[in-house]
Structure 1
Amino acid sequence: MLIVGLQGSPRKKGNTDTFLAAFLDKAARTGAAVRTIQAARAGIVPCRGCGYCETHGTCVIADDPMSTEIFGLLRQADLVVAASPVYFYGISAQLKVLVDRCQTLWSRKYVYKLKDPLADTRKGLLFSVAASRGRQLFDGVDLTVKYFFDAIDARFSHAMTYRGIESRGEISRHEGLAADIDEAVAKTVLPLVKRKKILFISKDGACRAPMAAALAQQRFGDRIRTGFGALQPASGLSVPMVRAMQRAGVDMGFRRPQHVDQALYGATPDLTVIVGADDDRRMRGIPGKKTIRWSPAQPVSSEAEAMDALRMEMAAQLDTLVQEWQ
């Protein structure tokens, strides 16, 4: 599984940074892959409020880290942790820039009616610290982050918030922090880490493998975590395949074919499925505790009808595959 931590404080090694790092370190020890985005230093261009994403489904700013990397990480993540100090009863300006740019994902969900394959299993956590102690201190942060999680298809799990934390390093001395982190890892990380893992591999990782991985994740995500890869990855996903999935309401946006070594973030698959015919010699050394070959029909064309038929065939075969394997 992948955890993406969004570190919203502009202070290096401040309380928010320290808090998030402690959680991610603990989570990594369970076997989770972790990534931290330092919002203050990520180079994210602020939202222009132009409405382009609502008419095109993508952001008009196509060349900054948000479009080239962060959207993809948010789509790959099983758990997203939003961490921010309280500034004027809200999140930091640096994290708010990242949140505002997720209007693109909001548009794909609510304007285009597309559902991310991980939507039913992805979770969201809020970490926040503040120097003052007001009764409604975290209300603004809480509302913003909950709406953010909804936009990125993450189910809000819970918040860990601490008052009266001001001097650098003070959070590390907070009584009960370690126990709170242990509880959060047990509640939100371990159930995701313990799922069985299936890796789908096809020749270039552009069509049938990502389709199978997305359908399996959507249908059986409570039990399994899927990935897809290739020995010679294509530069992008098959456009006809992406459109076929969109017709079924499944969002394949911000995903790219990747080498098998990068799939599942280094975790060993419990099952590796080689999708389609290929030279057995090229498949030697493929990772996985068990490997099978799976042969859904090669679409006779890239026309909508052929791709829709492939999608339905693969969904039916996945039902059998998962039931027999488990």
Structure 2
Amino acid sequence: MNPSNASSPEVFVLLAFSSQPLLEPILFVLVLGFYVVSLLGNGTIILVSCLDVHLHTPMYFFLANLSFLDIGFTTSIIPQLLVNLWGPQKTISYGGCVVQFYISHWLGATECVLLAVMSYDRYAAICRPLQYTIIMHPQLSLSLALTSWLGGLTTSMVASTLTMLLPLCGNNRIDHFLCEMPLIIQLACVDTSFNEMEMYVACFIFAVLPLGLILVSYGHIACAVLKIRSAEGRRKAFNTCSSHVAVVALFYGSIIFMYLQPAKSNSHERGKFLALFYTVVTPMLNPLIYTLRNKDVKKAFRRLVLEKSCGFVGTRGHI
């Protein structure tokens, strides 16, 4: 087909798990459950971090950003996935597909940078404890958060726009449950070498480099922890970082497994489930990891619950 006569399709067909129809109702229930827990967990962290003055620190400011990011990321994907799992309709409008890969690419890139920023915060807290409040002052924390969001938005605007301009020549079947940039590029009926090169460069800048910074930060942290003589001091330092390490491992581990699959048909099917874990399960686990292993968050939540309970009892007492 002549690319000059090509036009964008009105809808895309998301094949997703249509080859396994008996599995779809089970996945619908699981995905819906995970999504609700993710919204409640991340929403709770945002609420507690904003309302409790004890958590007005850089660590919890970045954590609230991460929770807000996870809510946006899952909401850009899961509602459409639930619609496709529920009934025979497996389509998404062209505009909906464009919005989905703009937002998911933006928030995915932002999370990579934000996790690196959070590792730098932990490095400053453990390796420079006496200068921590000077290093991580509110202006720097806000600047780092804005850099994460704007950096992710910039790469999404560039890469997604270049992808959107590709002629698809009527190709509209995507063998996945989401509109992802590499999948759209595969549908193009022209040479996509430039788009692929841009995607690799963006991946290096927004995924590989942040991971390198995270590893360097934790290398310094490990050296600092080993120099602590008391077992109690080492335990506290470990607890300070363990939640973030677990979140980084989940995030990058799922990405690495998802994108380093060999090019085989069974690997492609396995890749869908890995993508499902990355987009549905990981955002749900993040708040659980931080709340279950973090005494400050649990104390703040109890304080808010007690204040609300006391306020409710006091109100009823006046009636």
> Which TM-score band (shorter chain)?
under 0.3
| Greater strand proportion | 1
Larger C-alpha radius of gyration, 1 or 2?
Answer: 2
| Greater helix proportion | 2
TM-score (structure 1 length as normaliser): 0.25
TM-score (structure 2 length as normaliser): 0.25
